[in-house]
Amino acid sequence: MELTELIKDYVVTELLSSIELDFLEGELWDTTQHIAEINTVLKAPKNICEKLELDEKSCWQLCCAAILDYSRPLNNGQKRVDDFKRLIKQYEISYI
């Protein structure tokens, strides 16, 4: 499985299996655990960002967070997208 391919699939079908969602959760968790080591993130295509109701220059990790927020909302009402945006700003991560 690959993060970008799963996100592309979700944008087309709006469906992912529980195994695929588990994979996305694992990828996002791993990224947040190593956020201090990350300098740049890759922008996702504009059409994908728009479909997920994100800024058109959002990264793939924010797309992942958005899918998880839609498919598996957190019990405490927190949004993964907001948390990841905060980390990007805090660690001054650049978009490429």
What is the rounded radius of gyration, in angstroms, for the C-alpha atoms of the chain? 12
Cβ neighbours for 49, distance < 8 A, ≥ 6 positions apart: 55, 56, 57, 58, 62, 63
Q: What are the structure tokens assigned to 69, written together? A: 């927020």
Structural domain boundaries in the chain: 3-95
**Exposure on the CB side of residue 56, measured as CA atoms within 13 A:** 2
pLDDT, mean over the chain = 97
Quick: pLDDT tens for 52-80.
999 999 999 999 999 999 999 999 999 99
Q: H/E element holding 81?
A: helix 80-90
CB atoms within 10 A of CB 46: 13
pLDDT (0 to 100) of residue 16? 97
pLDDT (0 to 100) of residue 1? 79
Q: What are the structure tokens assigned to 80, written together? A: 């993964």
Can you give the pTM of this predicted structure? 0.95
